[in-house]
Amino acid sequence: MTMRQLSRNWNIAIAFFICRLIFIISTPLDGIKSYGDFVHFYHLAQMGVPFIDYWVEFPPVFPFLSWLIYQISGEQEHVYDYLLLILLSLFQAGGLVIFSKLAAKIKPNIESWIGIGVYFIINLILPYTWWYFDVLAVTTLLLGISWLFEAKDIRSAVILAIGALIKLFPALALCLIWRYRPGKRAFLLSFILVLIVTGSYLLLYLVSPSFTKASIISQSRKGSWETIWALLDNNYRTGNFGPEIERLDAEAAGNAIGNPARISPWITIMFFLLIGSYFYKQLNGDQPIVQIGLLCIAFLIFFNWMPGWSPQWILYLIPLVLLIFDDMEGVIISGILALVNLLEWPVLLSRGYPWSLWLTVPIRTIFFGFLIYIIFLRVRNISIKCVNHIDQANLENQ
């Protein structure tokens, strides 16, 4: 990367952070928090040390960060809110720098500006980027991908493990490690990732076995929500748990929420793994855009298999889509993703229209399937050309 590109990337990050500060300063705090989970995060932080004084439905990194911010804020809610907003904004600014590097690597400079500009705007205006903490995991995912492209494999495995301790989704990048690294190398990197994640939970378990165990099992007891599977189960709700006070009771984490699954995800997993293996084998090229395409397909298949869906999870898809597609294609796809999910939450569900899931869920599910298809078509030709070029080069060398 040239000094000019590096300067450009950091200028983008600084511009974003200034715009976000203007937004924070000029907008009432209640309007910023709006339909997000800031109140929930603050109430959890009030309850003590996560995993030790109570169970929590999230992996450990964010709950401990939240508790630390609570301590620094002097237990004042408005100070806590502003500090958390600044932390999220800093991660978003860093994510823009990493995205810019990836865009410059994958696309010609003249094209990369469009995707960078769109991603800048989405980070600035899409409320999912500050209502929830997923931007922390998205930034670690992008950094892990960037380091894989730079052959900094150990660093990549470590940062992806940290991402998995924020939200499990960055661990899906293991598909790139196993597809584009030799077997022994892939095993080593996977071992590092798994060791960091399991070691962290083991340490917490040794300190507080009951609340750590409750935290781990809580998600599996949540049932289905906002998916095709939830419609089959007659679960017309969001993925929220009950009152925070329940987290003081380790036994409460095992209480089932909603109706039981009519079709167990452990039955459907083989079908989705077969679909994934097809794309895994078909996309042979090692060009960055092919790897991004494979990862995006893995996310889409995984999200269609999952019993639950949270609208803010589009934050994992949008940067990948913008890296794969050119010009207005990426803008339109990202816009559809944002509009459909904003329609679901907060527009309809927050107003007490659970029947609306019969509208938004099928649209999203079908669109995910369509997106898998068009991504595959786009990157397959690049993959074939890459493989043919390698084969031709080998023949010439012989």
Share of the chain above pLDDT 90, in %: 82
> Averaged over 274-283, what is the pLDDT?
92
Query: pLDDT higher for 265 or 383?
Result: 265
If you average pLDDT over every residue of the chain, what do you get?
Answer: 92
Q: Which residues of 105-126 are buried (b: 16+ CB within 10 A; e: fewer)?
A: ebbeeeebebbbebbbebbbeb
Cβ proximity of 46 and 39 under 8 Å: no
CA distance 45 to 218: 18
Any bridge partners for residue 225, and if so which?
308
Q: Do 233 and 259 form a contact (C-beta atoms < 8 A)? A: yes
Determine the residue type at 159: I
pLDDT the model gives residue 214: 95
Q: Is 124 strand, coil or helix?
A: helix
**Residue 322 CB-half CA count within 13 A:** 30
176-185 residues labelled b (16+ CB within 10 A) or e (exposed): bbebbbeeee
Dist. CA 186–CA 390, nearest whole Å = 22
Nearest to 157 by CA among 169, 141, 135, 136: 141
Residue 332 has pLDDT above 80, yes or no: yes
Whether 84 contacts 29, CB under 8 Å: no
What pLDDT is recorded for position 93?
97
> Strand, helix or coil at 2?
coil
In tens, the pLDDT along 173-203 reads: 999 999 999 999 999 999 999 999 999 999 9
Q: How far apart are CA 194 and CA 164, in angstroms?
A: 10
**CA-to-CA distance for 145 and 95, rounded, in angstroms?**
12
Using DSSP's 3-state secondary structure scheme, residue 308 falls into strand
Phi, psi of 385, deg, nearest 5: -60, -40
Written as six digits, the tokens of 38 are 């800031």
Instruction: Provide the β-strand partners of residue 81.
Output: none
Q: Do residues 215 and 200 make contact, with C-beta atoms less than 8 angstroms apart?
A: no
Q: Determine the Cα–Cα distance for residues 321 and 334; give it in Å rounded to an integer.
A: 7
Q: Is the pLDDT of residue 2 over 70?
A: no
pTM for this one? 0.95
Confidence grade of residue 254 (pLDDT, cut at 50, 70, 90)? confident
Q: For residue 242, what is the DSSP state?
A: S
